[in-house]
């Protein structure tokens, strides 16, 4: 099956940890025999002037549509399957990360852990568009593009989620699309836990997601909280690379008793986030 893996990121001031993520995805594509395309902000033109005017200079809102248009363009270019991977996704085990099970199309399944104050933590289970796999001829791709454009044209866009994750997860019950269980969504607290070797939070991430992950979205942007430094992000990648993801996956015992189904939320007690940030 002729497959194209697509990523996009600016060409200047690329953080070192983002560079390592991009290299890991390219290496995975090469190993699997997929074609690979790394584009830049010039791809935003695919969104068209009307959409760009509606969402303003919000790069994430622009990318939410751009990624879908890049997938559709790949199909038009003759690819049987197109794969979008966010620039902050690190593939830690390229020999084990597979997308061959996707029949039509799939988004990543997300288990996002974040602090709720003191020693209280929340784990939110939903879907995420950090990784998308779509086969050619999928009618829902056109529908998702139309829906994204519709929201932008007829609503005031206050947050990129309106034309991204919130739209996709809201449609999951109706469209019943497949989910990628082998992609992890690691919030900044989990990135810090990787850097610090905090076993309690890594155990919780593994147990509540419930399946091994071999590619991880590392939410380490400067506007996330708790704050993750460049050195934190690189240390997290070091740990994932050194263990091929085992630093998280080894907490699984083969059972999925703790797996959270989509659209659920749970709370648990854990370390104080301030202590975690200091330790990292």
Give per-residue pLDDT as tens, 200-254: 999 999 999 999 999 999 986 656 667 888 999 999 999 999 999 999 999 997 6
The pLDDT of residue 186 is above 60: yes
- For residue 277, the model assigns a pLDDT of 59
Percent of the chain with pLDDT over 70: 95
Residues spanned by the domain of 133: 3-279
DSSP tag of 218: E
Instruction: Select the highest-mean-pLDDT range: 45-49, 160-164, 254-258.
Output: 45-49
Question: CATH no. for residue 47?
Answer: 3.90.550.10
Which ranges of the chain does DSSP label H, i.e. alpha helix? 16-32, 49-55, 59-76, 139-154, 165-175, 188-196, 199-209, 230-243, 246-249, 273-279
Mean pLDDT, the chain, integer: 93
Give per-residue pLDDT as tens, 65-91: 999 999 999 999 999 999 999 999 999
- For residue 221, the model assigns a pLDDT of 64
pTM greater than 0.85: yes
- The HSE-up count of residue 127 (CA atoms within 13 Å, CB side) is 22
**Count: domains in the chain:** 1
Q: Which distant-in-sequence residues (6+ apart) come within 8 Å of 165 by Cβ? A: 126, 127, 128, 129
Q: How confident is the model at residue 263 (pLDDT cuts 50, 70, 90)?
A: confident
Cα–Cα distances in angstroms (integers) from residue 225 to residues 82, 168, 219, 235, in the given order: 32, 23, 9, 18
Rounded to an integer, the average pLDDT of 253-260 is 64
């Amino acid at each position: 099956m002729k497959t194209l893996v697509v990523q996009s990121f600016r060409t200047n001031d690329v953080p070192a940890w983002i560079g390592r993520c991009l290299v890991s995805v390219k290496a995975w594509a090469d190993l699997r025999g997929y074609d690979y395309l790394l584009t830049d902000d010039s791809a935003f033109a695919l969104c068209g002037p009307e959409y760009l005017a509606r969402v303003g200079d919000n790069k994430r809102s622009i990318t939410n549509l751009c990624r879908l248009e890049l997938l559709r363009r790949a199909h038009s270019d003759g690819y049987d399957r197109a794969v979008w991977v966010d620039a902050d996704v690190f593939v830690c085990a390229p020999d084990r990360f597979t997308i061959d099970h996707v029949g039509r199309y799939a988004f990543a399944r997300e288990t996002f852990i974040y602090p709720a104050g003191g020693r209280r933590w929340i784990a939110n289970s939903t879907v995420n568009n950090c990784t998308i796999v779509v086969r050619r001829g999928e009618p829902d791709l056109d529908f998702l593009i139309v829906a994204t454009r519709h929201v932008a044209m007829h609503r005031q866009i206050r947050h990129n989620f309106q034309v991204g994750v919130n739209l996709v997860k809201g449609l999951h019950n109706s469209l019943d699309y497949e989910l990628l269980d082998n992609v992890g969504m690691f919030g900044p607290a989990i990135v810090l836990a990787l850097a610090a070797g905090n076993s309690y939070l890594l155990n919780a991430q593994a147990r509540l997601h419930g399946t091994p992950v071999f590619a991880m979205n590392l939410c380490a942007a400067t506007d996330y909280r708790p704050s993750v430094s460049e050195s934190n992000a690189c240390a997290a990648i070091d740990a994932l690379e050194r263990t091929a993801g085992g630093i998280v996956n080894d907490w699984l015992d083969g059972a999925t008793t703790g797996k959270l189904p989509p659209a659920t939320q749970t709370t648990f007690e854990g370390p104080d986030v301030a202590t975690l940030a200091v330790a990292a």
